[in-house]
Amino acid sequence: MAEAMSLILEDGQVFRGEGHGRVASALGEVVFTTAMTGYQEVLTDPSYAGQIVVMTYPLIGNYGVDPAADQTERPRVRGFVVRELCDHPSHSRSTQTLTVYLEHHGVPVLAGVDTRALTRRLRINGTMGGMLVPGEPRPNHQAAAGKVNLAGVVDEVTCRQPYELPGPGPHLAVLDFGLKRNILRELSKLGCRLTVFPARTPASEVLAQRPAGAVLTNGPGDPRDILWAATEAGVLAERLPVLGICLGHQILALALGADTYKLKFGHRGANHPVREEATGRVSITSQNHGYAVAEESLAGTPWEVTHRNLHDGTVEGLRHRHRPVWTRQYHPEASPGPWDERELFARFVALAEKGV
């Protein structure tokens, strides 16, 4: 049975609705995503760790839960906010309702909220801290919402030990800053042998395995909170072909002299147009990030901008002028979203196979 529940933002605004599943308190950064499908992939994407996610699409849960769609073994969000929660799925691959799934994993859900008004507030005022609470919020809840701290979230979501996925093709090292399973699936489809390393693995340990290339994955939080990762990434970029995705893109940018900054409300959705500067080709991309590379900081670095977001002009891709090192801010593996950029993996694997 649903219970009264509220979301209080750090600016004091309260959004009331019904709590479903595990009606409990949750503290996190409140963000919205415009993806119309893929709520399960959103829930299990480690890049959302530490966040309370608002779905702008009004009906959520209508196709249930399919274990094959999970991007990690469990949801990573701290809370979930929707307009209307549907618990009568009809999809043939559904194994349970969304409410049962989230209750099992202890994720509180607030439904019945005017998500249009909430999204508009976040767009106008910017991303902010928030707190989900049963019933009515108390004055101390607003103060708590203003103290959300996401430092350390990469350590929460990275793997604990290295592991290997076999394959007949080139050996790639994957640095796990909060990877989505679909990155591994796409590389495995291309025959790669993959060794996945925890985020804090020194570059020397990675290089000792003699990989043909390295992939720095997506992940949560502020890249400037993990400058240790940039230090190690710089070493890898001197020795190997390297591909950085999302947080990995930001880490590599910092490693080679650029800077990053926080976006007002981030890019989160499955419908962001990105232009390749050399060809003018436009791809529709899946994105989930709250930080971006500062283009003015690229002067004097070896970086060249290769891709640009057509909504706001922000940097979406970089290429090292002298080394086989590429980055993408968006998710070429999608999940959820379009497949326009999956060819990137094949191009990178071909480069690694040449032993450049």
Q: List, by residue number, the catalytic residues.
A: 246, 331, 333
Angle, vertex CA 228, rays to CA 31 and CA 259, nearest 5 = 60
Q: What whole-number distance in Å separates Cα of residue 128 and Cα of residue 220?
A: 16
Strands (E), 95-156: 108-111, 128-134
Query: If we measure between CA atoms, which residue out of 212, 259, 219 comes closest to residue 236?
Result: 212
Q: What whole-number distance in Å separates Cα of residue 310 and Cα of residue 38?
A: 23
Token pair, residue 188, equals 């495995």
Pairing of strands 171-176, 26-33: unpaired
Token pair, residue 93, equals 């691959």
Length of the chain: 356
User: Which three-class secondary structure state does DSSP give residue 184?
Assistant: helix
Q: What whole-number distance in Å separates Cα of residue 312 and Cα of residue 250?
A: 18
> What single string gives the DSSP state of each residue in 205-258?
HHHHT--SEEEE----S-GGGGHHHHHHHHHHHHHS-EEEETHHHHHHHHHTT-
Residue with tokens 């009606």: 23
Token pair, residue 249, equals 């893109």
Which residues fall within 8 angstroms of residue 327, CB to CB, at 6 or more apart? 243, 244, 245, 248, 249, 252, 253, 317, 318, 319
220: region left, alpha or beta (phi > 0 left; psi from -120 to 50 alpha): beta
Query: If we measure between CA atoms, which residue out of 185, 189, 141 comes closest to residue 333?
Result: 185
